[in-house]
Amino acid sequence: QGIGTLLDGLFGTATGSTVSVENVGLLGSTRIGSRRVIQISAGFMIFFSILGKFGALFASIPFTIFAAIYCVMFGIIAAVGLSFLQFTNMNSMRNLFIVGFSLFLGLSIPEYFSRYMTGAQNGPAHTKAGWFNDYINTIFASPPTVALIIAVVLDNTLDVRDAAKDRGMQWWERFRTFRGDSRNEEFYTLPFNLNRFFPPS
């Protein structure tokens, strides 16, 4: 999705694409990852969008209810993200350093960019190339993006060979191929038996 959105932004598309972290929260809270559920939900959304009364019903829901739902959903999103650390060895000083350092800089660097923009009315990157300034200032003003970049770079450069087991990569081996787990057949097969024409790898 990330690469697709990047290409959409570079070349433009007839249909927009978006990445929604809310899906992670829903997946974590419902424990349902089947495509059939998505297809049925899409049918309901199309049906409800045609009838204006249903839209009015949803619009009448108080904002406090939406706020409560968002609190639960984004809390689960954060917890699901942290739950991936269960596969790593958190007794390893290497892993503790990577997690702590990336979280700290993920909060510190965007805060610096935010305060700089407030005072100077432009970001720390202010060259003659406006597009470059926008890229740098946007990327480094996002805490998750900064933390992700730092964590990925450190995890793939810092003592990689000696810490192979500590990284937890062996837990993901069976999910690298479609046939690695029996549940993949249910979750990720294409609808309407299209796997005959597009076999999974």
For residues 49 and 55, the answer to whether their CB atoms sit within 8 Å is yes
Structure tokens at 81: 């993200």
- At 169 the pLDDT is 78
Q: What is the pLDDT of residue 146?
A: 92
What pLDDT does residue 111 have? 93
d(CA 166, CA 99): 13
pLDDT of residue 183: 63
CA atoms within 13 A on the CB side of 146: 21
- Residue 149 is predicted with a pLDDT of 93
The parts of the chain modelled with pLDDT lower than 50 are none
With both helix axes pointing from N to C terminus, report the angle between 130-139 and 143-155 in degrees, rounded to the nearest 10.
80
Contact predicate 26/77, CB 8 Å: no
The span from the CA of 171 to the CA of 79, in Å, is 19
The continuous run of DSSP H or E covering 51 comes out as none
Euclidean distance between CA atoms 114 and 73, whole angstroms: 26
Neighbour tally for 11: CB within 10 Å? 7
pLDDT for the residue 29 = 67
Between CA 173 and CA 18 the distance in angstroms is 28
pLDDT value, residue 94: 92
